[in-house]
Amino acid sequence: MPLVTTTEMFKKAYDGGYAVGAFNVNNMEIVQAITEAANELHSPVILQASAGARKYAQQAYLMKLVEAALEVTDIPIAMHLDHGADFEICKSCVDGGFSSVMIDASSQPFEENVAVSKKVADYAHEHGAVVEAELGTLAGVEDDVNVADDKAMYTDPDQVEEFVKRTGVDSLAIAIGTSHGAYKFKPGQNPKLRLDILEEVAKRLPGFPIVLHGSSSVPQEYVKIINEHGGALKDAIGIPEDQLREAAKGAVCKINIDSDLRLGMTAGIREHFEAHPDHFDPRQYLTDGRQYVKDIVHHKIINVLGSDNKA
Ligand code: G3H
Ligand code: 13P
Ligand code: ZN
């Protein structure tokens, strides 16, 4: 199947009350784990590469890995730029064959965000790609953007209609209490997404696909494995999965997950080395890391996204 944009995926997801997982890819094992899990469950999937991923793996390698995944699976796959910082990086991904890009000017003033998001949308649409933009700021680390916790801003529902109308973007990431990384909440805090803001946004943009970043749930079984095998992840806390599932039933059509995959890969590798301290063949320990990433994607598709059998 050729690479697809997210247009059809999102339309079906919106109408069907589920979301499509957008999983970050950085190497072959991660691409294989995600696409094998999605293929087994007949789920559409979005693979996304950040600036860090492009720097680590090189765009040409990533595109070839995605090409291979398209060849060996039979599901709709979109290739997306995660957190594009400016027009140039978005253009270079569209030119390089990505079917979707994110322009993330959410830390800039409204008018500047509108201007650059529109410029990216115009260029991408001329070249058959789609665009995600962001309004509101998430706490935590977003690639080149580091937002302090106290600066985290929820999206203002009063701005979304004007933003989408003036930019022509195809989907919108909003801030409702999710954040990037494995340390989203402090111990004792009550993790609660502002689903009321999501509802307000959805009212103003009927039928329009909404995106949630920072949606790893930080499964404690993997944190435990890491910590029991020489790791030191203290108080890693994520988003409760039932709240994400609730959001996916509504206007949220794309849910971004990266940190959970990192935890799976690390848990598998740490566990492997504890059991086999003599091993030094990467194929041995990466097999275990890849398996845990695959298990996590499997779990997300069924329990969080609800996208199984929707390919
Ligand atoms: O939103 C950020 C993603 O988790 C990508 O992280 O920039 O370290 O690749 P990265
Ligand atoms: P997590 O850090 O919660 O996995 O979020 C990933 C993300 O939003 C990528 O854009
Ligand atoms: Zn993100």
Q: Give the chain's mean pLDDT.
A: 95
* Structure-token pair, residue 84: 């594009």
Place of tokens 């996590």: 296
Percentage of residues of the chain with pLDDT beyond 70: 95
Pocket residues: Cβ below 6 A from ligand 1: 24, 50, 52-53, 82-83, 142-143, 180, 258
* pLDDT-wise least confident of 183-187, 223-227, 289-293: 183-187
Residue of 176, 213, 233 to mutate, ligand 2, most atoms within 8 A of C-beta: 213
pLDDT per position as a tens digit, 271-287: 999 999 999 999 999 99
24: CA distance to ligand 2 center in Å? 8
What is residue 145's predicted lDDT score, i.e. its pLDDT? 43
pLDDT per position as a tens digit, 150-206: 556 899 999 999 999 999 999 999 999 999 999 999 999 989 999 999 999 999 999
What is residue 138's predicted lDDT score, i.e. its pLDDT? 82
Query: What 3-state DSSP class applies to 96?
Result: coil
Helix axes 259-275, 28-40, angle to 10 degrees: 110
142: CA distance to ligand 3 center in Å? 6
pLDDT at 146 > cutoff 50: no
| Greater model confidence, 16 or 137 | 16
CA–CA distance, 120 with 178 (Å, rounded to integer): 25
How many C-beta atoms surround the C-beta of residue 91 within 10 A? 17
What is residue 202's predicted lDDT score, i.e. its pLDDT? 98
> Where does the chain have alpha helices with state H?
7-16, 28-40, 51-57, 59-72, 87-95, 110-126, 157-167, 195-204, 220-228, 241-249, 259-275, 282-300
Can you give 239-289 as a three-state secondary structure string?
CCHHHHHHHHHCCEEEEEECHHHHHHHHHHHHHHHHHCCCCCCHHHHHHHH
Measured between alpha carbons, how far apart are the two ends of the chain, in Å? 12
CA–CA distance, 15 with 303 (Å, rounded to integer): 18
pLDDT per position as a tens digit, 93-115: 999 999 999 999 999 999 999 99
261: CA distance to ligand 2 center in Å? 10
pLDDT per position as a tens digit, 37-78: 999 999 999 999 999 999 999 999 999 999 999 999 999 999
205: CA distance to ligand 2 center in Å? 24
Residues 6 or more apart whose Cβ sits within 8 Å of residue 113: 105, 106, 133, 134, 135, 163
Q: Which atom of ligand 2 is nearest to the CA of 182?
A: 2
Identity of the amino acid at 168: G
CATH 3.20.20.70 assigned to domain 7-224+237-259+296-305? The reply is yes
Q: Where are the domains of the chain?
A: 7-224+237-259+296-305
Residue of 26, 258, 261, 265 to mutate, ligand 1, most atoms within 8 A of C-beta: 258
Query: What 3-state DSSP class applies to 74?
Result: coil
CA–CA distance, 119 with 184 (Å, rounded to integer): 33
- The mean pLDDT value for 82-86 works out to 98
Residue of 26, 58, 82, 255 to mutate, ligand 1, most atoms within 8 A of C-beta: 82
pLDDT at 217 > cutoff 60: yes
17 burial level (CB within 10 Å; 0-12, 13-18, 19+): exposed
| Greater model confidence, 143 or 187 | 187
* Structure-token pair, residue 270: 């740490």
Residues written for the chain: 311
Query: What 3-state DSSP class applies to 69?
Result: helix
pLDDT at 144 > cutoff 80: no
Give the pLDDT band (50/70/90) at residue 137: confident
Catalytic residue positions, numbered? 82
Residue 256 CB–ligand 2 contact under 6 Å: yes
Give the pLDDT band (50/70/90) at residue 1: confident
How many C-beta atoms surround the C-beta of residue 193 within 10 A? 18
pLDDT at 242 > cutoff 90: yes
What is residue 184's predicted lDDT score, i.e. its pLDDT? 95
CA–CA distance, 96 with 256 (Å, rounded to integer): 22
